[in-house]
């Protein structure tokens, strides 16, 4: 079977109450439309998917220019049937057309594969679902032999028809040759004065054209997003699916309802993740790690036995085994921590390589630095790496000791085993194995402090 996939994404989305086109709203860090295109590509279609765009179309195309797709514009939004008419010239007669939607982001690849397997070249395949509350959705109408004979939109449904819980997902697979014959015959004599794609079901019934259905395993996968409430519901379902998957793999989530994945993640064994942890980008977590509450991990690799304490942000970093980070630490891109490094509370690192067993435990900024093994950096230390134009490097040798409240003005090298006295501003290289100190002489002066009257 040769397969073409059409994704309808032209709607305005008035109920979103937003200036952002509906298909550009985000689910788990990616736009709704990106989710659908990713699913479509996994079905190995004959050609790249065709996206029918319309409302704020230029905005949508610019935002998603990286997608491999053929873009076809629907200049006037006159319904799903009218939208499909715009793409027929791009599709060979012998193809099967799978119709997806830019605002139905969670349809599973496995569900679509079962639909395609059931559909034949001389039939229509439909995905249906039973909703606990089908309000606002088109209903599946069956005859006494349980065959689908038509689909009715809620605005056009009778009171009895509205009691039906089986809904039309809108996802079909249809032979292109028949679609090209039927679409021009559609009428817009309905409550919304639109050309409904659903009307082809009645046409197919009249022509005794076989109609097959496949019911989705979970109705949530065919949920459409029409407002912010539905967007939130889809987000929670998506996140709970991820949470369940990880817990089945042995991950301990202290509250599965407060765990968010917005990228791709690989998690090892016996990992404990506390509440409100957010995963973004590409993240790999090793075995027996502990991730504290309110932590953000973005494009991070964590080795085994890493502990991240509460309220830390780890972004674009490589963390070796047995490191301890936080609480309230910020690890920025370009940071590489070797084994047994401790990064403490209110410490920020950026573009720095920190070797084994070094400790930076309090209120410190380390940027553009290379720090050796077993270094101790005292509270309040900063690397002064930026002169307003260029960034400069700080190098600290093995076993150095940097006293509290020290400013290291880069470019600078602190030698192996060197000690820098607390409160120093160091502007020249500090020799190895020596004490370097730079501070004003302490004096005590008799004086009278002014007081308010």
What contacts 444, CB < 8 A, 6 or more positions away?
none
Cis before 327? omega within 30: yes
Alpha-carbon gap, residue 226 to 30, rounded angstroms = 17
Angstrom CA distances, 111 to 86, 104, 219, 427, stand at 27, 13, 11, 65
**Termini Cα distance of the chain:** 92
Please name the residue that has the structure tokens 């002066």.
Answer: 445
Which run of H or of E encompasses 99?
Answer: strand 96-101
CA distance 131 to 108: 17
Residue 408, SS3 per DSSP? strand
Rounded Cα distance between 422 and 437, Å, is 8
CA 24, CA 270: separation in Å to the nearest integer? 37
Residue with tokens 């038509």: 150
Burial class (CB in 10 A: 0-12, 13-18, 19+), 104: buried
Q: 55, 59, 362, 392: which one is catalytic?
A: 362
φ/ψ (deg, to 5) at 178: -75, -40
> How far is 329 from 73, CA to CA, in rounded Å?
48
Distance CA 103, CA 101 (A): 5
Q: Is 35 a catalytic residue?
A: no
Q: SS in 3 state form for 187-243?
A: CCCCCCCCCCCCHHHHHHHHCCCCEEEEECCCHHHHCCCCCHHHHHHHHHHHHHHHH
Closest CA to 359 of 325, 382, 385: 325
Which residues are tagged catalytic?
362
């Amino acid at each position: 079977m040769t397969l073409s996939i059409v994704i309808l994404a032209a709607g305005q989305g008035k109920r979103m109450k937003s200036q952002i086109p509906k298909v550009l709203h985000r689910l788990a860090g990616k736009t709704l439309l990106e989710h659908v295109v990713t699913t479509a590509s996994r079905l190995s279609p004959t050609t790249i998917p065709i996206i029918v765009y319309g409302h704020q179309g230029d905005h949508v195309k610019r935002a998603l220019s990286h997608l491999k797709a053929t873009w076809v514009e629907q200049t006037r939004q006159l319904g799903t049937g009218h939208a499909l008419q715009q793409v027929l010239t791009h599709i060979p007669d012998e193809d099967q057309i799978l119709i997806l939607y830019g605002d139905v982001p969670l349809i599973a690849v496995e569900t679509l594969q079962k639909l395609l397997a059931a559909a034949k070249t001389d039939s229509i395949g439909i995905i249906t679902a039973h909703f606990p509350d089908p309000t606002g959705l088109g209903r599946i109408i069956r005859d006494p032999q349980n065959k689908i004979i038509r689909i009715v939109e809620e605005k056009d449904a009778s009171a009895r028809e509205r009691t039906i819980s089986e809904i039309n997902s809108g996802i079909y697979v249809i032979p292109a040759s028949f679609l090209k014959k039927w679409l021009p015959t559609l009428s817009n004599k309905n409550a919304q004065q639109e050309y409904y794609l659903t009307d082809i079901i009645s046409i197919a019934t009249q022509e005794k054209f076989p109609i097959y259905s496949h019911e989705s395993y979970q109705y949530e996968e065919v949920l459409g997003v029409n407002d912010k409430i539905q967007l939130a519901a889809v987000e929670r379902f998506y996140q709970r699916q991820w949470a369940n998957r990880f817990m089945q793999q042995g991950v301990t989530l202290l509250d599965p309802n407060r765990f968010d994945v917005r990228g791709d993640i690989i998690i090892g064994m016996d990992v404990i993740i506390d509440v409100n942890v957010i995963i973004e980008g590409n993240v790999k977590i090793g075995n027996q790690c502990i991730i504290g509450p309110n932590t953000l991990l973005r494009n991070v690799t964590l080795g085994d036995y890493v502990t991240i304490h509460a309220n830390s942000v780890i972004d674009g970093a490589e963390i070796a085994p047995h490191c301890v980070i936080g609480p309230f630490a910020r690890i920025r891109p370009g940071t590489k921590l070797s084994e047994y490094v401790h990064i403490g509370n209110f410490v920020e690192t950026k573009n720095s390589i920190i070797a084994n067993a070094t400790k930076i435990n309090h209120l410190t900024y380390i940027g553009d630095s290379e720090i050796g093994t077993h270094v101790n950096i005292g509270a309040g230390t900063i690397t002064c790496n930026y002169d307003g134009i260029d960034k400069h490097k700080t190098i600290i040798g093995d076993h150095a000791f940097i006293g509290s409240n020290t400013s290291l003005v880069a470019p600078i090298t602190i030698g192996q085993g060197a000690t820098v006295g607390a409160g120093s501003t160091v502007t020249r290289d500090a020799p190895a194995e020596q004490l370097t100190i730079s501070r004003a002489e302490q004096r005590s002066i008799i004086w009278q402090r002014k007081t308010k009257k």
